Structure 1
């Protein structure tokens, strides 16, 4: 979490470490399998293209694992931008009714009108005190923006 009194940027901590480790492990395993692919006693002959394809599968799976390190929340006096695994959306504070972290939830959320909500995967319960600090700072930004 970084930011000043008027700007806040939050990223998950624990999931970034796990996702990076998983991506690295996938790359190593698929590369080793690709290198050993020619020397199998099964009678099947694997070509160089099969080995390259195996490394390519490892790269795709590693990229998929790194999607979990992508979430981010950026907030300022005008609103909050939520980036989850795939999409990014910005919400003005006038549209946000509350910033909440329901009991038992894995991540925080923005409460919107008509009982809608947006999950904020950047603020995760697994991050403990980091998540608590992020929620306090985000609620303070929301409170000061709504009062103005």
Structure 2
């Protein structure tokens, strides 16, 4: 709820290019592995040991886990603050803690500056998304200005 008692809208920002890349790469990897596995002659498939099979499954699982981490990257804003998911790490920053968001020239993604001097990488807002990323940074800045306390006035 905002100060007037109305619910604050939730906004979710995701990197479109990274999400598409993660989904397509994961699907392609699964299809390629399946095609290769079934295309091998029976004698070759039967010659793999359990350890070799386990190693291949572990490598496939690790690659899919990395792609899943890339795909779940997001920045969400709501009435409580910013909720950032970068791969498998989560950062929750309340509005009074948030100072500003920047998307520096040549930077791959936006950065959130906090009142205690720390920074949080906002991998959900990536420069590769172009105008969409610039718009997302402006919207997050506006939310900080609306909900946050003035810089240096953190209680």
Does the pair score TM above 0.5? Answer: yes
TM-score, length basis structure 2: 0.77
Which consecutive aligned stretches of 4+ in structure 1 deviate over 3 angstroms post-superposition?
Answer: 37-40, 47-57
Distance 1:108 1:27, change over 3 A: same
- Take 1:79 and 1:121, find their aligned partners in 2: how far apart are those partners? 17
Gaps of 5+ in 1: none
CA distance in 1, matches of 2:33, 2:12: 35
* Aligned counterparts of 2:47 and 2:78: Cα–Cα separation in 1: 59
In the alignment, does 2:14 pair up with 1:11? Answer: yes
TM-superposed CA distance for 1:147, in Å, is 5.6
The counterpart of 1:24, out of the listed 27, 34, 40, is 27
- In structure 2, stretches of 5+ residues that fail to align are 1-6, 151-155
| Residues in 1 aligned to 2:41 and 2:96: alpha-carbon distance in whole angstroms | 58
Aligned positions, number: 142
**1:63-142 equivalent positions in 2, closer than 5 A:** 63-142=65-144
Note the C-alpha offset of 1:22: 0.9
TM-align CA RMSD: 2.7
Query: What's the TM-score, normalizing by structure 1?
Result: 0.80
- Give the distance between the partners of 1:125 and 1:113, measured in 2 at CA: 24
Residues 14 and 126 of structure 1 are in contact (CA less than 8 Å); yes or no, is this contact kept in structure 2? Answer: yes
1:136 Cα deviation after fit: 1.4
The 2-side partners of 1:111 and 1:12 are apart by 20
1:27/1:59 contact within 8 Å kept:
no
Does structure 2 retain, via aligned residues, the 8 Å contact 1:80–1:93? Answer: yes
